[in-house]
Chain A
Amino acid sequence: MMRPERDLPMPFRAVWHALYWTFERATWQYDVMVIAILSFVWLTPPAWLGDPMALHERGFLEWLLGW
């Protein structure tokens, strides 16, 4: 059976599984993905993304690090 991802070293295999997603909801893999997404959404300073509606708001990371 051809499964090219099996030959990949670990960090690349994780990226492969994130992009070629085959896991069900409510699995630990799903939890990890949700945590990664929420971290990106809430920790990225809005100014970095040029968010038109939150340009002058401080991101959680900025607040945490006192920037």
Chain B
Amino acid sequence: MTFTGLIGAACWLPLRLIIGACVRLRIHPNVLTFVGVLINVAAAWALALGRFVLAGAIMTLANIFDFIDGKVATELRLSSAFGGFWDSVMDRFSDISLFVGLIYLYSEHGRTDYVMITALAMMFSILTSYTRARAESLVAKCKVGFMERPERIVLFMIGAFTNRMAAVLWVILVLSVSTVFARIYYTWRALNGPEGIAA
């Protein structure tokens, strides 16, 4: 087993207990999604104040809600097209909130360079989701590129807990740019290339 697989397996047990509790309480998954967003806004507030460890702790809590909503929906047989749409929109709201918190922080410190880096990382993070959504209306699947939402969230938490947010923003920016261009290239190849992998 790989070490990232091992970490995933270790996290799965406590999450399984939380999912079980939510199922027993019959909490609607859309409510879990919304609570996750509200907690993420609190994390963004902590980032804006430069309180990174607190922000990391709040982000961890928020992302538990983020992770379990789909699983609870499946177990309660409440999965729906609207639930998927709601989840995607709320995910974007959470992502943007965190970036806005950092933009506020760096502008308070008069650091235009990091305001720009954060703004560009935010732009390409949104484009990462948009390119996939748009591509999958044209081709069957477009899952190329490394920097998806789970990777971004874990990196945010690592940056917050270890006070290495600048390095994390550079990683998110570079890999989000490569993900967006990989998705554009993949879609072009699927639609126009000789492989003909379009749906």
Contact A42 B146, beta carbon cutoff 8 Å:
no
Give A24-48 interface residues, CB cut-off 8 Å to B.
25-28, 30-31, 33-34, 37-38, 40-42, 44, 46
Given contacts A31-B3, A54-B166, contact A21 B195 (CB under 8 A): no
- Chain A residues with CB under 8 A of B4: 25-26, 30-31, 34
CB contact between B167 and one of A21, A22, A31, A49 (< 8 Å): that residue: A49
Interface size class of B (residues with CB under 8 A): 35 or more
Residue in A2, A21, A28, A30 whose Cβ sees the most chain B Cβ within 10 Å? A21
SS class of chain B's interface: helix, strand, loop or mixed?
helix
Binary per-residue interface labels of chain B (157-178) against chain A in the complex, 1 for a CB within 8 Å, 0 otherwise: 0110011111110110000001
Contact A52 B8, beta carbon cutoff 8 Å:
no
CB contact between B166 and one of A21, A28, A42, A49 (< 8 Å): that residue: A49
- Chain B residues with CB under 8 A of A10: none
Given contacts A2-B194, A44-B167, A52-B109, contact A21 B182 (CB under 8 A): yes
Chain B's nearest CB lies how many Å from the CB of A51?
4
Given contacts A41-B167, A51-B166, A52-B111, contact A30 B155 (CB under 8 A): no
Contact B144 A26, beta carbon cutoff 8 Å:
no
CB-nearest residue of chain B relative to A45? Answer: B167
Binary per-residue interface labels of chain A (41-67) against chain B in the complex, 1 for a CB within 8 Å, 0 otherwise: 110101001111110010000000000
* B residues whose Cβ falls under 8 Å from a Cβ of A: 1-5, 8, 50, 52, 105-106, 109, 111, 113-114, 144-146, 155, 158-159, 162-168, 170-171, 178-179, 181-182, 185-186, 189, 193-195
* A residues whose Cβ falls under 8 Å from a Cβ of B: 1-2, 18-22, 25-28, 30-31, 33-34, 37-38, 40-42, 44, 46, 49-54, 57
